[in-house]
Amino acid sequence: MAGGAYVALAICCGLSAAIVGRIKGSSFLLWFLIGISLPLLGTLAALLYRREQGVPKTRCPECGGGIAVHDQVCMRCGRDLEWAFGEPPELPAS
């Protein structure tokens, strides 16, 4: 049955997303549900999830937006960021 094959595939995708999400310190159940709802896309999202989370963030002095410390231009207001040669201010952990 095609339906059964789809369910098996969805569960496989859910499990792969859940395992990736769990490895990255997120919720196994959350990523399992995402993986089942969005086969392949959910797994891809889990794979990409860490990149956002792992990048140290700081704040733009101009607009206050959160930006990655390696960015040299603010994505929100376009301001040139001048801490390329020094230590950017770290955001307090929240």
Return d(Cα 45, Cα 27) in angstroms, integer: 13
Report if residue 82 touches Zn ion, rule: CB under 5 A: no
Least distance to Zn ion, CB of residue 58, Å: 11
Q: Do the Cβ atoms of 3 and 28 come closer than 8 Å?
A: no
Report if residue 60 touches Zn ion, rule: CB under 5 A: yes
Report if residue 77 touches Zn ion, rule: CB under 5 A: yes
Report if residue 63 touches Zn ion, rule: CB under 5 A: yes
Return d(Cα 32, Cα 35) in angstroms, integer: 5
Per CB under 5 A, residues contacting Zn ion are: 60, 62-63, 65, 74, 76-77, 79
